[in-house]
Structure 1
């Protein structure tokens, strides 16, 4: 997928120490469990109407409640929204944001979110478009669901399509906050035979490390 190719240099530029930290502080679950709400969501039914095979995973990070900004735990929805702001406005997305801004920012996309400040302050309501490559399609107190894979100016089925779910929940029993970045990429333009998702193995590996980067830098927004 084009998005992943454009961050290859950024990913390989990380030192081994940083990779080790990311690997230890985050985890990847693949495939997404069968009982995950994504599979029953209206967005998945709408955008993957052919039920095509997908490249899918969940990046997880657990953080002790004592390290979370207390004001984010007072009202339902504040934690997930702030984490979403951290993902898009954070350091992990800076390179890609700048690249897209140079290539796609213009009169036709002026109403979209482009600057770091816009991305760090948005309410991420459904219909919000980001850097001409993402659009919010669902929002709940615990998750923000974003369509990806092509410009939001193309609402039609696509050769490259997918859903990216940014979520946060409190695990009171363990005294932790659980942050999630859920990815599901597929072709929506036509029926695909077989069980193979759209990403080759090497690209899937890069995607997972990029998810870890987004997770880590996005988490800074919710921690003390």
Structure 2
């Protein structure tokens, strides 16, 4: 019994230490600033046509340029693509990917990206579908935006809808790369009154920690030493 207690305590302390590190090296901003580009984007206007309240946040991590893989800084767009590969093929997404594969992988979704190899090599062009839950709807040199909340096979308005933006921007002035995971969740199938988005309370806190974990496991993809 003593050994079991020690093992459980060690595991708990290790987990707390990992979460503490992740919390210290990432920042959550919520709500998003009123001048955030997503609010005036065509993509947001298209999917949130009723301008319903959204659950909104962005997870940010800054990394010194000296720690970034130099080949990713040679061609515009490579950094954002590689970071996106890290998000979807990294350890943070493994459980959700495996769960989705067991539940939704079929002949009808055969063209989606399912395997770690597919997710780690895709260039994430608009139209790319992932695990029957995400679809790339916009791509720029610094940002890849996916629609989420339901299957891409449901192309119309949804009870559960949202946008997830994966970004990588070089801040030359500070000598850093700014990685971002931005989320906006909303109802798109009807008009909703009020100011509170569909994900609130404990669920919102859990979502923000999930974003931090995705960030921590994806960021290593763009740093030296891989």
TM-score (norm 2): 0.92
User: What is the rounded CA distance, in whole Å, between the counterparts of 2:125 and 2:40 in structure 1?
Assistant: 21
Q: Deviations over 1:134-175 (max 9, x none)?
A: 000000000000000000000010010000000000111111
Match of 1:211 in 2: 211
For 1:189, the equivalent position in structure 2 comes to: 189
Structure 1 partner of 2:7: none
How is 1:19-168 mapped onto 2 (pairs within 5 angstroms)?
19-168=19-168
Task: State which structure, 1 or 2, has the greater radius of gyration over its C-alpha atoms.
Answer: 2
Residue by residue over 1:100-121, the C-alpha shift from the partner in whole angstroms, topping out at 9 and shown as x without a partner, is 0011001000000000000000
Superposition RMSD in Å = 1.0
Query: Counterpart in 2 of 1:6?
Result: none
- Unpaired runs of at least 5, structure 2: 1-11
SS at match of 2:222: coil
The number of residue pairs the alignment matches comes to 212
Point out where structure 1 has 5 or more consecutive residues left out of the alignment: 1-12
Show structure 1 runs of 4+ deviating over 2 A.
none
The answer as to whether partners of 2:55 and 2:200 remain within 8 angstroms in 1 is no
CA contact (8 A) 2:91 2:217 kept: yes
Q: How does the TM-score come out when normalised to structure 1?
A: 0.93
Distance in 2 (alpha carbons) for counterparts of 1:86 and 1:199: 25
**Pairwise CA distance, 1:42:** 1.3
